[in-house]
């Protein structure tokens, strides 16, 4: 496993990081622990989590996984999504951030979260207030690095400018969606991250499973998130995405690789990317994503894979 510096933090993170969104569902606790161990054996040192994953269960299971090796791993969590029916138990209000971090620390069974994300932007709250709340958590030692996910480039730049002006701990890394069929991040987010020397952990490198190759014509009716989860079914429902997946499968077959290995290696090879967040429901599924670390991806090969689908439109019409 290769290790990469996370932005300008001086922290070394594995070039593949393990997502824990499946911990608790569909992966039961034993399977989640097996995923954690396999990832550790492969050299992964960073584990991505969120309060909302399976109603807090992913954090609870991750907490039990890191018991005994807490100082050897980097763990993340996130705040934003509703955690109950209470209308104030959500969003990025200072009140919610302060209570959410306590709840996450408790579920994780630790005294600090290494990287703490605003899971989504909340434009009903002044950005100054969000950043001040995160800065207070850094000063209190409850989180080490603030981070943001799913923010637009202009909001990210605004967050950086405010943090610098007010002397707050600035977001150190981003978590955008990025895969062969969702390439919007290439237009503004990734160039911005490169220019600002921010860490980047792209999520859904397999498009929620689409690029594993199991949803092709030959295997119609495959079971998985895209057929079981309406939000994901809709997110990846565009028939053109299925064409890209089919082309990836033939390309991978010709070269003797699993399509998932190439899809993850392609994300990994973008110069602004620190490490893709890989996800799996069991260890068998995890293997091809782990094998991405061994793919000798070149700039030319990356171009060939990029050409399997359309490039995203430019940021401005011209």
What is the closest distance, in whole angstroms, from the C-beta atom of residue 208 to ligand NAP in the complex?
A: 5
Instruction: Tell me if residue 53 is catalytic.
Output: yes
Based on CB atoms, which residue is closest to ligand NAP, 165 or 284? Answer: 284
Q: Taking a C-beta distance cutoff of 8 angstroms, is the pair 18, 34 a contact?
A: no
Each residue 82-121 as x (binds ligand NAP by CB under 6 A) or -, in order, gives -------------------------------------x--
- Does residue 75 contact residue 49 with C-beta atoms inside 8 Å? yes
Whichever of 7 and 259 has its CB closer to ligand NAP, that residue is: 259
Catalytic residue among 3, 53, 203, 257: 53
Residue 309: CB minimum distance to ligand NAP, A: 15
CA distance 259 to 251: 8
User: Measured between alpha carbons, how far is 78 from 93 in angstroms, rounded to an integer?
Assistant: 14
Determine, following the binding rule CB under 6 A, whether residue 149 of this chain makes contact with ligand NAP: yes
Is residue 110 within 8 Å of 141, Cβ to Cβ?
no
Q: What's the Cα-to-Cα distance from 228 to each of 165, 218, 240, rounded to whole Å?
A: 46, 19, 20
Q: Which of 142, 225, 235, 270 binds ligand NAP (CB under 6 A)?
A: 225
Residue with tokens 């950043």: 131
Site string for ligand NAP, 173-192 (x = CB under 6 A): --x-----------------
Among 35, 224, 290, 295, binds ligand NAP (CB under 6 A): 224
Q: Pick the binder of ligand NAP from 14, 45, 216, 285 (CB under 6 A).
A: 285
Q: In sequence order, what are the residues at sequence separation of 6 or more whose Cβ sits closer than 8 angstroms to the Cβ of residue 132?
A: 94, 166, 168
3-state secondary structure 121-184: CCCCCCHHHHHHHHHHHHHCCCEEEEEEECCCHHHHHHHHHHHHHHCCCCCCEEECECECCECH
Q: Does 212 bind ligand NAP (CB under 6 A)?
A: yes
- Phi/psi for 144 (5° steps) reads -100, -50
When asked if residue 235 is in the footprint of ligand NAP (CB under 6 A), the reply is no
The residue with its CB nearest to ligand NAP is 19
Q: Which is nearer to ligand NAP, 164 or 246 (CB)?
A: 246
Candidates 11, 281, 305, 308; binder of ligand NAP (CB under 6 A) is 281
Residue ranges in 49-88 that form contacts with ligand NAP under rule CB under 6 A = none
**111-to-50, 63, 102, 143, 236 alpha-carbon distances in Å:** 16, 11, 9, 9, 38
Which residues have CB under 8 Å from 111's CB, separation 6+?
A: 105, 141, 142
Active site residues: 53
- Contact residues toward ligand NAP (CB under 6 A) are 19-22, 48, 119, 149-150, 175, 203-209, 212, 214, 224-225, 260, 277-281, 285, 288-289
């Amino acid at each position: 496993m290769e290790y990469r510096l996370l932005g300008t933090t001086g922290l070394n993170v594995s070039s593949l990081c393990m997502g824990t969104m499946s911990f608790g569902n569909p992966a039961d606790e034993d399977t989640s622990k097996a995923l954690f161990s396999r990832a550790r054996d492969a050299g992964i040192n960073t584990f991505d989590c969120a309060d909302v994953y399976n109603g807090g269960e992913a954090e609870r299971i991750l907490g039990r996984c890191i018991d005994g090796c807490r100082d050897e791993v980097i763990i993340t969590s996130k705040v934003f999504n509703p955690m109950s029916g209470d209308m104030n138990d959500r969003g990025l209000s200072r009140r919610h951030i302060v209570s959410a971090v306590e709840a996450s620390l408790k579920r994780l069974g630790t005294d600090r979260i290494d990287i703490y994300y605003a899971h989504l932007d909340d434009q009903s709250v002044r950005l100054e207030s969000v950043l001040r709340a995160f800065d207070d958590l850094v000063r209190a030692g409850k989180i080490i690095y603030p981070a943001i996910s799913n923010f637009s480039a202009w909001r990210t730049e605004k967050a950086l400018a405010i943090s610098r002006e007010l002397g707050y701990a600035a977001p150190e890394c981003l978590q955008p969606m990025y895969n062969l069929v969702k390439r919007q991040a290439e237009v503004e987010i990734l160039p911005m991250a490169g220019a600002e020397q921010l860490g980047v952990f792209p999520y859904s490198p397999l498009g929620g499973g689409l690029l594993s190759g199991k949803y092709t014509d030959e295997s119609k009716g495959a079971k998985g998130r895209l057929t079981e989860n309406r939000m994901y079914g809709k997110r990846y429902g565009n028939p053109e995405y299925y064409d890209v997946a089919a082309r990836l499968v033939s390309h991978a077959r010709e070269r003797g690789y699993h399509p998932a290995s190439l899809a993850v290696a392609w994300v990994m090879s973008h110069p602004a990317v620190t490490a893709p967040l890989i996800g799996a429901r069991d260890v068998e599924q995890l293997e091809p994503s782990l094998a991405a670390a061994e793919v000798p991806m070149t700039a030319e090969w990356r171009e060939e894979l990029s050409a399997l689908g359309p490039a995203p439109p430019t940021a401005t019409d011209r």
